[in-house]
Amino acid sequence: MSAAPREPGPVPRVRRAEVRRRLLEAAAKVFAERGYQAARLDEIAYAAGFTKGAVYSNFAGKQALLAELIEEHVRTQFAVGTVEIRNKRRPDRVLEDVAEVFARGIVEQDTWSRLLVEIAQQAGHDPAVREVYAEVRQGLREELAAGIAKACDRLGLELTVPPEQLALTLQSLRLGLSLEHGVDPDRVDKAAVVAVFTATLHGVIR
């Protein structure tokens, strides 16, 4: 006699950290393909293999999802760039190396640059987006300022402005140059972006 078919066991629950990771990965793809405004939460949930309820169980809404996505991306980019600059071991060219890292983040990552510009525009007229995104920007700015101060101390460089002011300047350049590159990539190319960052850094660090 053949054995009776076994009853299927319970489907294991996906851990919360894994749910969030899959939702963020799916959101990155959907936002890149459709833009922030057109993207829908049910699309993101479906792409991640969940229902829309999973999104609301982990994020306050679409603006919170994109804000965390950008925060995670910028922190990763900053960490990778810091390691890359240290590995070059060129203290006499460190400002040029920093400018190169910033420029690559704009020119070679068009999708992220476009999303940064789009959410900044949304924040300008949507209070819900502004509340979430402003907090993210402030946190990243504070981390950048701390990193600048620490690097200057380690390398024996002198800042002519407070590190918080330079962090705000670099954030603003990042956003503005992302917009300019997106509109006119042939003239606002990588060399042009590197030149702007290099001149700015040489103007406030010695």
CATH number at residue 28: 1.10.10.60
CB under 8 Å to 44, separation ≥6 — which residues?
A: 23, 26, 27, 30, 55, 65
Closest CA to 111 of 40, 29, 184: 29
Contact 55, 41 (CB under 8 A): yes
The CA-based dihedral angle spanning residues 170, 174, 176, 181, taken in that order and rounded to the nearest 10 degrees:
140
* Phi, then psi, of 10 in degrees rounded to 5: -65, 140
Kindly state whether residue 5 falls inside one of the protein's structural domains. no
Q: How far apart are CA 149 and CA 158, in angstroms?
A: 9
Write out the E strands in 123-177: none
Q: Are residues 55 and 148 in the same domain?
A: no
Q: Are residues 81 and 173 in the same domain?
A: yes
Q: Are residues 94 and 42 in the same domain?
A: no
Q: Are residues 122 and 157 in the same domain?
A: yes
pTM: 0.79
Q: Are residues 70 and 129 in the same domain?
A: yes
Q: How far apart are CA 31 and CA 63, in angstroms?
A: 11
* CATH number reported for the structural domain that contains residue 95 in this entry: 1.10.357.10
What CA–CA distances, in Å, run from 126 to 53, 117, 119, 133? 23, 14, 10, 11
Q: Are residues 111 and 93 in the same domain?
A: yes
Kindly state whether residue 4 falls inside one of the protein's structural domains. no
Q: Structural domain tally of the chain?
A: 2
Q: Are residues 79 and 154 in the same domain?
A: yes
Spell out the per-residue pLDDT of the chain, length 206, in tens: 445 454 443 334 678 888 888 998 888 888 878 888 888 999 999 999 988 888 888 988 888 888 888 888 888 888 888 888 888 888 889 999 999 999 998 898 877 777 788 888 888 888 888 888 888 889 989 999 999 999 999 889 999 999 999 999 999 999 899 989 989 999 999 999 999 999 999 999 98
Q: How far apart are CA 132 and CA 82, in angstroms?
A: 27
Q: Are residues 44 and 73 in the same domain?
A: no
Kindly state whether residue 29 falls inside one of the protein's structural domains. yes
Using only the alpha carbons of the chain, give its radius of gyration.
21
Kindly state whether residue 1 falls inside one of the protein's structural domains. no
Structural domain boundaries enclosing 39: 13-59
